[in-house]
Amino acid sequence: MKLAMTTTACLMTILITAALLASGCDADNGSAKEKTMNNKTASATGSAGTQACVLNPDGTPVCGEEHWKAKTDEEWRKTLTPEQYRVARQAGTERAFTGKYWNEHRSGTYVCAACGQPLFSSETKFDSGTGWPSFWEPIKKEAVSTHTDSAYGMDRTEVKCSQCSAHLGHVFDDGPAPTGLRYCMNSAVLDLKLAEGQKSEAPKK
């Protein structure tokens, strides 16, 4: 039931937002509430552990919001493109079929565009038909943290980079085997590090 509802909600959103030329399954509002579920120290919530986080000189981990706050907003705006900032920090969503990776099939590792942490392997990428790069599993459990997102009357699960707490997208339970999960990500906050021997030019859309 939940699966069907999620799928329906997603499809409805796609239909509605296609008409509005806005976004799709990862509804965009530019103001999704930042959930500060992260503790000050190690836990970037849920399955996220300390391994993904950079360390202070004294060995204490810095991750999640704390990692993000190590730079000022101004500095992040200079580091990131406006689109990256909008997605990563304001939980925005790129329009479907417009990102650079929805139709990407080369091998490599997708890292966080904000902090460089490896997030997804091309081996778990699949064609979801949604227009967003989709994966059935993160490269390791600790790489992402998940947060409840009840915006728009939908129960969705927001996915963030566990190291810097950049918003990445959402995860749904209508993905393929073996996990049955669909990590619906935004290309803007991903950076593909190509495996050796892969061509560097982007595929044609």
Minimum Å distance from CB 160 to Zn ion? 8
Q: Is 114 in the site for Zn ion (CB under 5 A)?
A: yes
Q: Is 112 in the site for Zn ion (CB under 5 A)?
A: yes
Q: Is 162 in the site for Zn ion (CB under 5 A)?
A: no
The stretch among 1-9, 34-42, 144-152, 163-171 that binds Zn ion (CB under 5 A) is 163-171
Q: Mask of contacts with Zn ion, 115-134, x by CB under 5 A? A: x-x-----------------
Residue 104: C-alpha distances to residues 18, 193, 200 (Å): 22, 12, 11
- For Zn ion, the binding residues in 165-184 under the rule CB under 5 A are 166
The answer to whether residue 115 is catalytic is no
Q: Of 71 and 174, which CB lies nearer to Zn ion in the complex structure?
A: 71
CB 116 within 8 A of CB 143: no
Q: Of 116 and 176, which CB lies nearer to Zn ion in the complex structure?
A: 116
Q: Is 188 in the site for Zn ion (CB under 5 A)?
A: no
Q: Is 113 in the site for Zn ion (CB under 5 A)?
A: no
Binding stretches for Zn ion (CB under 5 A)? 112, 114-115, 117, 161, 163-164, 166
